[in-house]
Amino acid sequence: MKYGVYLSSRAQVPATTRMPHPTSIVIGEGVKLGENVTLYQNVTLGGARRGDWKAGNYPEVGEGTTIFAGAVVVGAVKIGRQCVIGANSVVTSDIPDFSTAVGAPARVVRVGTERL
């Protein structure tokens, strides 16, 4: 309440999740976060349409991923390990491990073998 963050009690959010600027972050009920995920302000993780809560169509975010300010990740998408999602990106499809994705809709602009 203090920061305007909505975190569903049904979401799987480990204690290692970081929110450096915790304001206006929304994490829906079926979201699964890996270890050491960083979420900046105004990030939305949730269903893409009505009824997704029944079907379990929520994002899964891999360990060590950073999602920058204003990004939206919706639907049954999988973001790989050690990814970077750019500010204000809209992710509606899977992102492979060690990738950087930007834009609306998000597209992969870099794929590496590991993050520096």
Query: For position 2, what pLDDT does the model report?
Result: 74
Residue 1 has pLDDT above 70, yes or no: no
Query: For position 56, what pLDDT does the model report?
Result: 75
Structure tokens at 13: 């959010």
Residue 79 has pLDDT above 90, yes or no: yes
- At 104, the amino acid letter reads A
Entry pTM: 0.91
Domain that residue 31 falls in: 1-116
Q: How many domains does the chain have?
A: 1
Q: pLDDT of 4-51, one tens digit each?
A: 899 999 999 999 999 999 999 999 989 999 999 999 999 999 987 776
Nearest to 71 by CA among 36, 116, 21: 21
The dihedral of CA 107, 65, 93, 48: what is its sign?
negative
| Averaged pLDDT for residues 84-101 | 96
Query: For position 53, what pLDDT does the model report?
Result: 66
Q: What is the CATH number of the domain that holds 59?
A: 2.160.10.10
